[in-house]
Structure 1
Amino acid sequence: MLLSIALILLVGMCMSWICQKIKLPGLLGMLATGVVLGPYVLNLLDSSILGISSELRKIALIIILTRAGLGLDLSGLKKIGRSAVMMCFVPASFELLGMLLIAPKLMGITLLEAAIMGAVLAAVSPAVVVPRMVKLMEEGYGVKEGIPQLILAGASVDDVYVIVLFSTFVGMMQGKGASVISFVNIPVSIILGIAIGLLIGVLLACFFKKVHIRDTTKVLIILSISFLLVTIEDKMTTAITFSALIAIMFIGIGLQKKREVVTKRISVKYGKLWVGAEVFLFVLVGATVNIGYLGKVGIKAVLLIAGALVFRMLGVFVCLLGTSLRGKEKAFVMMAYTPKATVQAAIGGIPLSLGFACGDMVLTVAVLAIVLTAPLGAFVIDLSYKKLLDKR
């Protein structure tokens, strides 16, 4: 395992640096590192680290979501509050609708199989989007208009909505039917996540005010609480749950409102943690990509993904109607809300493991979506934000 960790960090950082030097996103180098080192090419990564890959990716996601919460300026978001709510479910619904219209005719599958494929593809990737929105907030681009805050809020909830839809469609495929309570759980889990996160953030602020400890210790406490929240959510068997990832982001927001000076210092610590976590996240996402599947897909799968993304961007445009955002700012939000990676890597193989006839096709399209949209989306964001957004 130690050799695998060394390879992930050294090769991943080296490839990231090379990509940045040739004006490409560092993410592309990290993804390529994962593909090459992973089990489908050179197979140099130890099976033990691949076995805990999902947990390591989740830790990295926790770090960047907490950092996002610590730096999130809600004042800009309040101006476009309605759009922020709509961004949580409208773009994903539009993409799913596009898949239902296109996939049966193009790929020859049933409507229910298209719904499963659409649910796998419909989630935006927080792993790609969140760090870039944090960077925009730190540099001050689009913050006054609430653009990075809008995308952050939407991306954090979008996944919850899509995963519930995926679970429902899988249940229907298995003959269990659709559960009304699972749809009721969507808004409830979001509201509970926000409430729990804010409460913990406020309590931590009071604790840090009374008990003087090092900032590093504070980071360890926040991380430990975040891990506990994710574990509790995973272990819950009740019909109504809460979203741990949303709660984790709102811990930072609650802490920020009560102890702003401390929050800024903790945010710097989290920024340093992200340097290593980012490498692990994207290298391990790359390691899940089986390039052997890509040889099986033709132009139809590419057209399917492109068509679904057009519907997604249309959904984003609908969300932004009636806002004060200019055309170029709307164009940025539409492009920034397209990358796929983490959710597709996590659930893309489930239909195949369950023995569904569409399983191989779903996994193939999911892998292709990661390969196409993660680096392309990151590249477009990095290339366009200074041109399309105003700096405060």
Structure 2
Amino acid sequence: MITLVFFIFLAIYSNYLGKIVEKFKIPSLIGMMIAGVLIGPHGFNKTPELALSFAPVLKDIALVIVLFIGGLGIGADQIKKIGRPAVLLSIIPATLEGFAVAYLSMLFLNFTFIQGAILGFIIAAVSPAVLIPSMVSLIDKNIGQKKSIPQLLLVGASADDTIAITLFTSFLAVYFQKIDGGSFDIKTQLLLIPISIVLSLFMGWIVAFIGKKYFLNIRNPKLKIAIIFTLCMGLRFIENRYHFSLYNSLLTIMSLGFFIRYYSGEGYKEVHGGMNSIWKYGKIYLFTFVGMAINPALVGGYFFIGLIILFFSLSIRSLGVLIALVGTELTYKERLFCVIAYLPKATVQSAKSGIPLQMGVAGGEVMQAIAILSVLITAPLGAIGINSTYKNLLKDS
């Protein structure tokens, strides 16, 4: 009962802080993250242990919903426009940033290249928690639709995470193989990345294809939404429970949304409305619990070195975004918006920052500090940047 009361209080409290920061032209999600930091274990520590144990589930529910909504926002005709640049956006920025951090870590932190790459590919992932809700909001406002810019960023960001996490896992394995005197085939791991993406997309199509026969024609909208929601959570559970290296549940869920829209015709709007109703509450818990996972105290003495590394790595990442957009019809303003939208980091960094330290990687405490610093700097930078520039940069898009 106490936990239930706390969750009700948390929703009111976080939503209120979100409303306050909005008055200063700052996105509400920043207020919700601040609310999480303040009330969480690294702030005033007023969150019950039982409530913290529910945090991963609630974050997953919210993330699953917004990714599914993101998939629903992509039409088949738009895929033709965004195909090539979306693929390049998923590969080039994260890869360049990850290896840039690896090199910078050798210069400033006295890391080996492998240690630096472990840190680099924690930092390299763009945050779906920040970027995807912002793009969904632009789709709802019909902004950037002539050139499908929000859809382009949605697709690119969802696959970007697959690449960053796979390379993080790979370099972590290389590190321990070197310690044990064994060998590790990095080429095989790189080959697994496109296989993982294709397999995850295929899974989304299979579920939607089955749905075409069995549940997409259900007339009761609440029942249909309940079935789809359960399937989405089931797809997420498979990854959380079994950790298949070739399966990215978040990419699968987004592709499921896309294929359900494809098979449902105009009927997808009914599903979209129902999921949006859930997301209104889910986003509060998502950003609040992301905030709870942030420990500003860890940054400590690595603030200035971390700031230098992030400045250069984000510059390289931004260059990667511009390279990925070469040959598109986007104006320089639209390209600048894409650069800004690709800055925020939060979800992956909060989840992965402590892993090297827990596993005994040398320099793990430094990696954790700089990964957390990347969240503290880029989450507000990206969110505020998107919110304050889209009206001007996407004015005619």
What TM-score does the superposition give when structure 2 sets the normalisation length? Answer: 0.94
**Aligned equivalent of 2:200:** 193
Residue 66 of structure 2: SS of its match in structure 1?
Answer: helix
Name which of 97, 100, 107 aligns with 1:98. Answer: 100
Amino acid at match of 2:197: I
Amino acid at match of 2:349: Q
Aligned to 2:248: 243
Q: RMSD of aligned C-alpha atoms?
A: 1.7
Aligned to 2:273: 268
Aligned partners of 1:54 and 1:346 also within 8 Å: no
Q: For residues 263-296 of structure 1, give each alpha carbon's deviation from its aligned partner in whole angstroms, at most 9, with x where no partner exists.
A: 1011011111111111111110110111211333
Question: Residue 120 of structure 1: which of 119, 122, 127 is its match?
Answer: 122
Which secondary structure state, in structure 2, belongs to the residue aligned with residue 351 of structure 1?
helix
Do the aligned residues in 2 keep the contact of 1:88 with 1:155 (CA within 8 Å)? Answer: yes
Matched, 1:365 2:367: no
Work out whether 1:281 is the aligned partner of 2:281.
no
Aligned to 1:166: 168
The one of 277, 295, 317 equivalent to 1:290 is 295
C-alpha distance in 1, partners of 2:272/2:366? Answer: 42
> Structure 1's 95 and 217: CA in aligned 2 closer, same or farther, altered over 3 A?
same
Q: Is the counterpart of residue 216 in structure 1 residue 222 in structure 2?
A: yes
1:158-184 Cα distance to aligned partner (Å, 9 max, x none): 111111111111111112543444322
Identify which of 218, 227, 235 aligns with 2:233.
227
Distance 1:74 1:384, change over 3 A: farther
Letter in 2 for 1:255: I
**Residues 48-105 of structure 1: CA deviation (Å, up to 9, x unaligned):** 2222322321211100011111121342342242111111111001101211222211
Of 307, 315, 322, 1:310 maps to 315
* Contact 2:76–2:262 (Cα < 8 Å) also in 1: no
CA 389–51 in structure 1, closer or farther in 2 if over 3 Å, else same: same
Query: Structure 1 residues 60, 319: CA separation in 2 closer, same or farther (over 3 Å shift)?
Result: same
Match runs of 1:1-392 below 5 Å:
1-175=3-177, 177-179=183-185, 180-208=187-215, 210-212=217-219, 214-236=220-242, 241-390=246-395
Instruction: Evaluate the alpha carbon distance shift between residue 177 and residue 381 of structure 1 in structure 2; reply closer, same or farther with a 3 A threshold.
Output: farther
The unaligned stretches of length 5 or more in structure 2 are: none
What amino acid maps onto 1:293 in structure 2?
L
Secondary structure of the corresponding residue to residue 174 of structure 1: helix
Query: Which residue identity lines up with residue 51 of structure 1 in the other structure?
Result: S
Deviation at 1:237, TM superposition (A): 6.5
Q: Could you state the TM-score of these two structures normalised by the residue count of structure 1?
A: 0.95
Structure 1, unaligned runs of 5 or more: none
CA gap of 1:4–1:330, structure 2 versus 1, over 3 A, is same
Which runs of at least 4 in structure 1 moved beyond 6 Å after TM superposition? none
Partners of 2:207 and 2:107 in 1: CA distance: 49
Shift of 1:222: 0.9
Report if aligned partners of 2:102, 2:119 keep a CA contact under 8 Å in 1: no
- Against the structure 1 CA distance between its residues 184 and 52, is the aligned structure 2 distance closer, same or farther, given a 3 Å change threshold? farther
Deviation at 1:190, TM superposition (A): 1.0
Distance between the aligned counterparts of 2:207 and 2:364, measured in 1?
Answer: 40
Percent sequence identity is 33
Contact 1:84 1:153 in 2 (8 A): yes
AA aligned to 1:104 is: M
Change (3 A) 1:136 1:210: closer
